[in-house]
Amino acid sequence: MLLSTAFFALCAITLWLASWGIRMRHPEATVTELFDLLLDDRSVRLAVIVIWWWLGWHFLAGATL
């Protein structure tokens, strides 16, 4: 449990840092443009998939399994 929580936190921090970096380069970008720019990077797409998987596994599928 501790390892998966640490991995989730690492992915969340990575996404936050990536979005902060894009926001500094494109301060006039709307939220939609920010997501488009953010998801251009393959590692960010992978981090988003891992975060959604982790949330779904621990909170949505827990009662049914």
Residue 8 is predicted with a pLDDT of: 80
54, with CB counted inside 10 A (0-12, 13-18, 19+), is middle
Axis-axis angle for helices 2-25, 31-38 (nearest 10): 120
Q: Which residues of the chain have pLDDT under 70?
A: 62-65
Pull the structure tokens for residue 14. 């990575």
Residue 7 is predicted with a pLDDT of: 80
Q: What is the pTM of this model?
A: 0.54
Asked whether the beta carbons of 15 and 51 are under 8 A apart, the reply is yes
